[in-house]
Structure 1
Amino acid sequence: MRKLAFLLFAFSFFCSCIPSKDLVYLQGEPLSKKEIHRINNIPYKLQVNDIIIIDIKAADSKLVALFNKKQANGANQEAQNGGGYFSGFTVDAHGNIRVPYIGEINVLGYTTKEVRLKIEGELAKLFKKAEDIFVSVKLDGIRYTIFGEVANPGPKVLYQNKVSIIDAISNAGDIALTGDKKKVEVLRLSLGGRKKFLIDLTKIEALDSEVFYIEPNDYINVIPLKQKSWGTGTTGLQSLTTIISVFTLVTSTILLVRGL
């Protein structure tokens, strides 16, 4: 009886704890590669609801003022903190943006470079010295939504040109102990349709995944480990405490029944 109880105790203890190897990111030795995967370097193509920042510079400040959006003098601080939402150009449901004095330009499925060339072409029709005008177009950060076993789930935005899934998770407060780093889901809504990927963040091979670098509007789902549903604890001490409590309860119940 004692041996059976000990075996049951040991089995429950080791099964309920989360192994340390499941907690460490990017384990293993990286392979030396001369070529960078092309899939991670394909330019992003704009989608509906994306926000882009268009900056036009020229020697003539009056000319620049015609095109660049500015906050009104009476704008409140909250509006200014909104960044690109107020000063950028949002891709509407038809895939267009409205640029002052140029009108609607379709940008759906175009890269930021292609949009820049489009705007430069339109400016060339309006001004004789269009070559003196400098245009830059970029995304207003990379927006994504993360949920599941992270410290701070919800919509996020990082003002970078490129964001890895490690950056995205770190920005959400990291994965909790109850989160499964081996099966992180990435849901991607692209022009080609909806796609779902799984990435194992405990292996160094994750660096070569096509979703290691996220895209705007990605959804990241950190699935909970089975230990969370078992409710026995995530650390050795928590598991030990739970098992001792259960064992004590069972023993007390048996003694009480025998006493009756």
Structure 2
Amino acid sequence: MKIKTITVAILIVLLTSCKTSNPITYFQDIDQTVSGQLMEENVNYEAKICPDDQLSISVSSIDPNAIAIFNLPLSSYQTPSETNVVTTPVLQTYLVDSEGNINFPVLGKIKVIGKTRREVSAILEEQITAYAKSPLVIVKILNFKVSILGEVNSPGTKVFSGERISILDAISSAGDLTLYGERNNILLIRDINGRKEYQRLNLTSSTLFSSPYYYLQQNDVIYVEPNKARKGNARYSQSAQFNISVASTIVSAISVIASLAIALLVK
């Protein structure tokens, strides 16, 4: 009986020790959470405006004539003395300079760096109120882009039209990770007022959804590190190429020597 108990214990140990880790599946612990309880708690996705951002700003009001000077409508000059103002709305873009300002019509320089779209809209609406009644200002970031490098199927810089962009959206736009991508150690690099910060993210855990880095900022860089298998293959390939090169050189040298020897013997 004792021997039978020991045998069963040994089998259990062997079976549990044979269990391999799963480095590929995303959100492996998601079944441990209550269904419907996967919350993005306190995660702010609003992008902060940075230098070199391109903003589109449109102003509307109950009095269109009062806000016309803020929208810079397209004008075409038919004759030197005649101006034809096109009434079709034109998308106006404003480049944020290195000091974080935009040069807005009538109002002059406006500090926008580090602010969200809503904050900039509120600042402009408050100042435009002196010229127009109940103005509505809509601000959009036109160059929201993210760079994705490493073990993804389509690396490169991805441009998005919206701002609520998560790391999963970015990875999806890059065609997902390759089988060699290290899913539990994704590197995110972020520029904050000229200072680089980095964070490691784990795609195999559902805690990703509550991370303050789950939603991306414009100009974020995502790097997917290769796993041990890929690194091993790379080292093997380099070593194999070197060995082949050396062998080829030796064979060529032997061939030349053999040719010279045969030529001398013939003489």
Same fold (TM over 0.5): yes
Asked if the contact 2:46–2:163 (Cα under 8 Å) also holds between the matched residues in 1, the reply is no
SS in structure 1 of the partner of residue 214 of structure 2: coil
Q: Is 2:129 aligned against 1:124?
A: yes
CA distance in 2, matches of 1:36, 1:226: 32
Q: Summarize the alignment of residues 83-122 of structure 1 with structure 2, pairs less than 5 Å apart.
A: 87-122=92-127
Q: Deviations over 1:184-240 (max 9, x none)?
A: 1000111383211111101222212221111111110011112112229xxxxxxxx
Q: What TM-score results when the alignment is normalised by the length of structure 1?
A: 0.67
Question: Following TM superposition, by how much is the alpha carbon of 1:112 offset from its aligned partner in structure 2, in angstroms?
Answer: 1.8
Q: CA deviation at 1:123?
A: 1.2
| Residue of structure 2 in register with 1:5 after alignment | none
- For residues 35 and 162 of structure 1, the distance between their equivalents in structure 2, rounded to whole angstroms, comes to 16
Matched letter for residue 28 of structure 1:
D
Structure 1 portions without partners, runs of 5+ = 1-18, 74-85, 233-260
- Per-residue CA deviation, residues 136-159 of structure 1 (Å, 9 max, x unaligned), is 223236321111111221211212
Hey, what does 1:57 align to over in structure 2? 60
**Distance in 1, Cα, partners of 2:71 & 2:24:** 48
How many angstroms apart in 1 are the aligned matches of 2:179 and 2:92?
40
Contiguous gaps of at least 5 residues in structure 2: 1-19, 77-90, 235-267
1:31 to 20, 33, 37: 33
Equivalent-residue separation in structure 2 for 1:22 and 1:34 (angstroms): 22
TM-score, normalization by structure 2 = 0.65
Pairing of 1:157-168 with structure 2 (within 5 A): 157-168=159-170
Pairwise CA RMSD: 2.9
How many residues are treated as equivalent by the alignment? 199
Could you tell me how far apart the structure 2 residues matched to 1:159 and 1:25 are?
Answer: 26
Q: Which of 51, 67, 72 is the equivalent residue of 2:70?
A: 67
SS in 2 for 1:135: strand
> Does residue 147 of structure 1 match 2:149?
yes
- 2 CA distance for matches of 1:90 and 1:218? 19
**Matched-pair contact (CA < 8 Å) for 1:71–1:87:** no
Larger Rg belongs to: 2
The match for 1:221 among 197, 220, 223 is: 223
Is 2:49 the counterpart of 1:46? Answer: yes
| CA offset digits 1:52-93 (Å, max 9, x no partner) | 2212113444555433356788xxxxxxxxxxxx84222110
Given that 1:120 and 1:130 are in contact with CA atoms closer than 8 Å, whether structure 2 keeps it comes out as: no
Deviations 1:120-147 (Å, cap 9, x if unpaired)? Answer: 122123x2x422x221223236321111
